Amino acid sequence: MSHEIFLAAIVSFDTFLAASALSSSGIRIPPPSAAIINIIGASVLALSIGFSRFLGEFIPADIFSMCGTILLAALGTLTIMKSLVRNLVRTLSEKGELSLKIKGSALVLKLYLDDTAADIDDSKFLSPLEAAALAAASSLDSAATGLSCGAAGFRPVISLIYALIFGAAAVFFGSLTGRKISSLKHDFSWPGGVLLILLAFIK
Q: Distance between CA atoms of 60 and 16, rounded to whole angstroms?
A: 36
Q: In terms of Cα–Cα distance, which of 137, 141, 136 is closest to 80?
A: 141
How many domains are there within the chain? 1
* Mean of pLDDT over the chain: 76
Which DSSP category does 26 fall into?
T
For 111-165, the pLDDT digits (tens) are 555 566 666 777 788 889 888 888 887 787 788 788 777 666 788 899 999 999 9
Which DSSP category does 125 fall into?
B
Q: Distance between CA atoms of 196 and 37, rounded to whole angstroms?
A: 21
C-alpha atoms less than 13 angstroms from C-alpha of 110 in its C-beta half-sphere: 18
Which DSSP category does 186 fall into?
S
Q: What share of the chain is helix, strand, coil (3-state, %, to 5)?
A: 80, 0, 20
pTM given for the model? 0.73
Residue-level pLDDT at 100: 42
Q: State which residues form the domain around 120.
A: 2-202
Please list the residues that pair with 28 across neighbouring strands.
125
Q: Distance between CA atoms of 117 and 93, rounded to whole angstroms?
A: 13
